[in-house]
Amino acid sequence: MAVSNMVFSDVESFLDTHPELFEDYLNRKGKHSVVEKWLKNHQASKAPVPAEPEKVNARKDSWASKGDGLQRRASQKELRKTFARSKAINANRTYDEHVNSRAQEPLTSMRRRALLRKASSLPPTTAHILSALLESRVNIPQYPSTAVDFKYYLKEHNEREFFLELVKDISNDLDLTSLSYKILVFVCIMVDADRCSLFLVEGTTNKKTLVSKFFDVHAGITVLPSLSNSDEVQVPWGKGIIGYVAEHGETVNIPDAYQDRRFSDEIDKMTGYKTKSLLCMPIRNSDGEIIGVAQAINKSSSGALFTEDDEKVLQMYLPFCGIAISNAQLFAASRKEYDRSRALLEVVNDLFEEQTDLEKIVRKIMHRAQTLLKCERCSVQLLEDIESPVVKFTKSFELLSPKCSADTESSFKDSMEKSSYSDWLINNSIAELVASTGLPVNISDAYQDPRFDAEADQFSGFHIRSVLCVPIWNSNHQIIGVAQVLNRLDGKPFDDADQRLFEAFVIFCGLGINNTIMYDQVKKSWAKQSVALDVLSYHATCSKTEVDKFKAANIPLVCELGIDKLSFDDFSLDVDAMITAALRMFMELGMVQKFKIDYETLCRWLLTVRKNYRMVLYHNWRHAFNVCQCMFAMLTTAGFQETLTEVEILALIVGCVCHDLDHRGTNNAFQAKTGSALSLLYGTSATLEHHHFNHAVMILQSEGHNIFSNLSSREYGDLMQLLKQSILATDLTLYFENRNTFFELVNKGEYNWNVKAHRDMCRSMLMTACDLGAVTKPWEISRKVAELVTNEFFEQGDRERSELKLTPSAIFDRNRKDELPGLQLEWIDGICAPLYETLVKLNPKLQPMLDMIQANRAKWEELNEERERAQSVSQPPSHCSGDSTKTTDGTLANAGSAPPCGGDADGDPSKPAS
């Protein structure tokens, strides 16, 4: 039927005769708002509008209470189901801080993306992702409150259903503000009161107050209005009727309020409302502790008083209210802790994001602390000298809340020096007290505290009510400053929870400030080091005059220099002649031609290497040249040049020249004992050897010194690896680790030049043999070298005795220098002879070196026998063989007592020389 042809009177008549069709339509398509509108229009009073007799009977049957529950018609059951479904639409509404303004907003994908963007500022850990999900999915049931008129209707017709409805309504609300308002309204309905108030207990055990944000008229109490919120009223504990009920836990029912001495008419005078009867009752939680007070004023019926039935009803209902309030308070507390924990996580993230600028990191931390603590002002002050007993601040940072500042853009003041900044922030007596004592200060009323400087407050023009000030500590538990917050925005003092939170924030603040200061110090140290290296590089490199001199010099032949002999005299050449001899070695081995080494660069490199050896007794440029000459002789005369590759030969020659660069005349053990910069930089394993290699690399990287510049990338990489192996091989610790394996391979005839590991061990043994080569030289040369090494060791022993207060071992103790022959015998037998004997088996051309060792040993044995005979004449025989004993493999159990003969002891104390 078209709409234009419809006769609505006919439709209405049809529905009157077929009510089940109307009910069915309403059940299927009716809306909650339509039902409420119908109830409102048909309930002018609290009683339902009179209806036809049959409909009244039907209603009575519908709401009548039977023995086992409520009996309803099928259509009415469907109506209630539809009504329940309309309520359930909001059952899983997401909680948010702005729930009232977003009550109808769905959780769209756009909002989800916004939340994830917010979480993306945190490190991508499980905890932070969970935080974002929690924020977007905290399911807080937000049932819309059932219409007040409907509750009045239930009260008149079904008290059981009415009571259950009220309990259910408050049990589904975890928002404390909304819950308080509901309880206020429901109490009014239950006892038919004209006005009602709800006060909740706040504060610590020793300082409780009663606070209400919802009230119409509050009579019979002493009122202290809130300083920041006119809608909130605070009642002192034990004051007035409200305070009396909270303190004593008793119900107070007063028929005439003006006749009770506890009543105050202050509010009545302010509002013009006259309080007559009054019913006040405590609210307890599940543990029986009083958490609030409910107050009803004046029965709605004129002249009526609150009855015992009203008291019983409230006694039944308020326990449920106590449970609901406790749950809401627990949720609010957990939500607050969640927000605070998230803020701490964000602070940690800020610390990792920004550790280079002190002002930026302090600003971020103060902003987050101020936002969470909701205070008017926040400041951080840093001490000028943390070691000084006098408290003096040098840098101060301040953040003013936008709510207290007209210009929010300039709320953060830049850090200023004290000389130009002299207001209350620097002259704050509380900050000075905290900095001097290291104890936090929490002042609830500044002007009542004797520690507070009221004059400075008046001078600044900023009125301080409450102060929370805590010290800032660094990683060494030293106070580096103080942080303080002033005046909570709600006018309340800072409580214990605020103090704990602020102390946690200040821990992060201290970490951030300490890291930033350390970063600044590192930057300055790096700058100083850069300048120092630049200066040292300039002075440590050779001059152009020296380079030109050797570049134009005539280089003698090998036979003229005698550098191809295994018995070369280590003291036959002067410092300049050693440079020309080194140049001849590079040319004779074909290194200059093969690797296209620029001759001027080679001269400059050799001169700079010589300049970077220190003027110590033994480990100097002459020792480096002699090791290199020994390697040259073994390569040419003994024929190792035919077995090794050209890259290996270059690495060995360069390694010999650089193997003791910047040696300080002390061994690795001394570096570890003194905790020197080298031991801190390289550790205690091959400390000096790593330093020698890095120093060699530094010279190669200096401008005009890279003799490897014309090598291919692959050759350069291989060469640097071989060079490092060669220099580290001079650490006798590595020699002891590898020598048994090498000896076994050679003795069993299993050594194979084609196996990389075998070649690596052989090169290392060659480096050690050359480093200890002085023991293979003629007796006069060998003895002279032994004396130089011993004197250098004595100087180290003197430093151990004077600086470290230690008794040095025999080889470092000049008081036991007469033991040198016996220690030298142990040195030869335990360290030198086994190595050269094995090399001779590998290459018989090295036999002259072994023969010279045996000859020198005979000389040392002769000297040792003379010493023993002299001792036997002057005193009874005693064993003076030093502190060492041989192990089964021929090594020394304490080789640190063995004297060197051109040895190297850059390793641990068990190594005899360096």
What are the catalytic residues? 619
Cα distance between residue 768 and residue 839, in whole Å? 11
CA 775 to CA 833: how far, in whole Å? 9
The DSSP symbol for 557 reads: P
- Cα distance between residue 813 and residue 480, in whole Å: 47
DSSP one-letter string for 780-836: HHHHHHHHHHHHHHHHHHHHHHHHS-----GGG-GGGGGGHHHHHHHHIIIIIHHHH
Q: Do the Cβ atoms of 95 and 140 come closer than 8 Å?
A: yes
Do residues 792 and 618 touch, judged by C-beta distance below 8 A?
yes
Cβ neighbours, 10 Å, residue 477: 7
Please report, in angstroms and rounded to a whole number, the separation of the first and last CA atoms in the chain: 115
Distance CA 625, CA 570 (A): 9
> Distance between CA atoms of 136 and 90, rounded to whole angstroms?
16
Which DSSP state fits 875? S
- CA atoms of 554 and 402, how far apart (whole Å): 83
Q: How many CB atoms lie within 10 A of CB 589?
A: 19
Of 287, 293, 277, 289, nearest in space to 239 by CA = 293
Q: What is the dihedral of CA 551, 552, 553, 554, to 10 degrees?
A: 110
Angstrom distance (rounded) from CA 336 to CA 794: 70
Which one, of 428, 397, 430, 426, lies nearest residue 413 by Cα?
397
Alpha carbons 908 and 101: distance in angstroms, whole number: 74
The amino acid occupying position 814 is R
Q: What is the DSSP letter of 443?
A: E
Structural contact between residues 730 and 904, judged by C-beta atoms closer than 8 angstroms: yes
For residue 612, give the nearest of 548, 536, 726, 724 by alpha carbon. Answer: 536
**DSSP string computed for 234-286:** EEETT-HHHHHHHHH---EEES-GGG-TT---HHHHHH-PPP--EEEEEEE-T
Rounded Cα distance, 17 and 13, in Å: 6
Return the closest-CA partner of residue 777 out of 618, 576, 629, 584: 629
Which tokens in the block code for residue 370? Answer: 């101020």
Q: Which amino acid is at 596?
A: K
Asked whether the beta carbons of 512 and 361 are under 8 A apart, the reply is yes
* Torsion angle of the four alpha carbons 499, 504, 505, 509, in this order, in degrees rounded to the nearest 10: 130
DSSP reduced 3-state for 400: strand
Q: Are 665 and 616 in contact (CB under 8 A)?
A: yes
The 3-state DSSP class for residue 630 equals helix
Q: Which residues, including other chains, have CB under 8 Å from residue 601's CB and lie 6 or more apart?
A: 704, 705, 706, 707, 709
Cα–chain-centroid distance for residue 224?
46
How many Å apart are CA 276 and CA 302, to the nearest integer?
10
What would the two tokens of residue 872 be?
């036997």
| Cβ atoms 220, 257 nearer than 8 A | yes
CB burial class (10 A; 0-12, 13-18, 19+) of residue 184?
buried
